[in-house]
Amino acid sequence: MSNRTISGGDLVDRLRLIRTETVGPVAFDHLLSLYGTAAAALDALPGLARRGGGKALRVPTKAEAEREIAATEKAGARFLAKGDADYPRLLAAIEAAPPLITVKGHIGLARQPAAAMVGARNASAAGQRLAREMAGDIGRSGMVVVSGLARGIDGVAHIAALDTGTIAVVAGGIDVVYPPEHADLQARVAEAGLVVAEMPVATQPQARHFPRRNRLISGLALGVVVVEAALKSGSLITARFALEQGREVMAVPGSPLDPRARGANDLIRQGARLVESGAEVVDILSPMVEVPLAEPARDGYAAGPASPPDEREIERNRARIVQLLSPVPIAVDELLRQAELTLPVVFTILLELELAGRLMRHAGGRVSLI
């Protein structure tokens, strides 16, 4: 599966850039908008990080990137770059969409309308039965079912939609099975459906990887259905991402006596759509199929200047931007208003701070000092 719509050299450069410490999806986009190519951005990285007050960055070598590409292809997977014809349209529309993902299976599924289904790992027998019926009905309607290959509701949803189309988003590398008992299911999804990963091959999933995975689950779908979820669960994180991404949030109500129903019930109280069948999910999402997706919230990076601003102006104003920032997240638009500086200057200073490891990005185009 070595077919690519970007050149091999460009893929190597993009992979080196996104695997560089402190370079996240938004910084990646802004670097490309500033310097035009990943190769030029790589050349600029050391100076940007140094001016932001950071230490020397660890940039993967060309050989390391080539080894990762070879290992990915050996696993039967391929890379997709944002901007590729095959890159999922729904995913490309989210804020901070991953510049590169790895996929294994039938990539055409990622271009079809989809509904995500998530829920408790320790789901009840009733919850699993309902998830199985709902996922089956959604699949037979022509929609793809997206989930996270976890125990409980996720696994049931994938199994029910194997014949009609399902996408599994994994938290680790695309060649890593988690949980271990889903080895056969992951292989079946790769054969009949599609497996998607953001992390490098051989990456064992860690706690911090799961929220990143959850934003992809919601990002690949028109909406998310929550079937059984505790008040503090990964399923609610997925629902929050869906809300931030402008996707529909739906939940199946449950008994107040069951702790596994409290998260879904709370979502309904907060305005999520109450659903009890796959047909209701399809009715809610079908009108969205032909509606163009809204552009993701701008945080300034992706809409950066065509060329770097004057370095003298940046030097004069860097301290002012740092003074305005704090550990409390602030919208970039508000920062621009208070700083009374041009867009290129502010965006470049923020990029320098991020590459130096001094800036954290938050949903909705907000930033804070670390």
Is 2 part of a structural domain of the chain? Answer: no
Domain assignment present for residue 346? The answer is yes
Looking at the structure, tell me whether residues 238 and 317 fall in a common domain.
no
The domain tally of the chain equals 3
Q: Give the domain-ending residue among 254, 288, 322.
A: 288
Q: How many angstroms separate the CA atoms of 139 and 112, rounded?
A: 11
Q: Find the mean pLDDT for residues 228-251.
A: 95
In a domain, 299, yes or no: no
Calculate what percentage of the chain has a pLDDT beyond 70. 94
Q: What is the dihedral of CA 237, 240, 241, 245, to 10 degrees?
A: 170
User: Is 261 in the same domain as 322?
Assistant: no
Which candidate, 10, 46, 49, 40, places its Cα nearest to that of 354? 49
More confidently predicted of 272 and 300? 272
- Residues 213, 209: Cα–Cα separation, whole Å: 6
Residues 118 and 77 in one domain: no
* Residue 165 predicted with pLDDT over 60: yes
Q: Give me the residues paired with residue 119 across strands.
A: 227
- Name the CA dihedral angle for 362, 367, 368, 370, rounded to a multiple of 10 degrees: 70
- Please state, in angstroms and rounded to a whole number, the distance separating the CA atoms of residues 169 and 238: 12
The listed range with the strongest mean pLDDT (92-96, 191-195, 288-292) is 191-195
Question: Are 86 and 41 members of one domain?
Answer: yes
147 Cβ neighbours under 8 A, 6+ residues apart: 116, 117, 118, 153, 154, 157, 158, 166, 167, 168, 169, 217
Q: What is the pLDDT of residues 291-334, one digit of tens each?
A: 666 544 433 334 444 556 778 889 999 999 999 999 999 999 99
Which of 104, 129, 148 is at the close of a domain? 104
Position 73 pLDDT exceeds 90: yes
Does a structural domain hold residue 134?
A: yes
Considering the domain architecture, whether residues 257 and 280 belong to the same structural domain is answered as: yes
- Mean pLDDT across 34-48: 93
The two structure tokens encoding residue 123: 């789901």
Does residue 29 belong to any structural domain of this protein?
A: yes
Say if 51 falls within a structural domain.
yes
In a domain, 52, yes or no: yes
How far CA 22 is from CA of 18, 141, 171, 318, in Å, comes to: 9, 42, 19, 19
- Judgement on whether residues 277 and 333 belong to the same structural domain of the protein: no
Which of 224, 253, 288 finishes a domain?
Answer: 288
Predicted pLDDT of residue 295 = 47
166: three-class secondary structure by DSSP: strand
Q: Is the pLDDT of residue 175 over 90?
A: yes
**What's the rounded mean pLDDT across residues 221-246?**
95
The predicted pLDDT at position 160 comes to 98
Domain containing residue 322: CATH number? 1.10.10.10
Same domain, 95 and 149: no
Please state, as a whole number, how many other Cβ atoms lie within 10 Å of the Cβ of residue 310.
12
Reference 285, options 213, 217, 225; nearest CA is 225
Residues 148 and 241 placed together within one structural domain of the fold: yes
Residues 269 and 348 in one domain: no
Section 28-36 average pLDDT: 91
Which has the minimum average pLDDT: 29-33, 101-105, 135-139, 176-180? 29-33
Within this chain, do residues 152 and 237 fall inside the same structural domain, yes or no? yes
* Domain extent at residue 100: 8-104
Tokens of 234: 């990964």
Supply the CATH number for residue 182's domain: 3.40.50.450
> Is position 294 within any domain?
no
240 and 337 co-located in one domain: no
The pLDDT of 25-42, averaged and rounded, is 93
Whether 207 and 170 share a structural domain: yes
Pick from 79, 75, 72: which is nearest to 99 by CA?
79
Q: Are strands 194-197 and 273-274 parallel, antiparallel or unpaired?
A: unpaired
Average pLDDT, the chain: 92
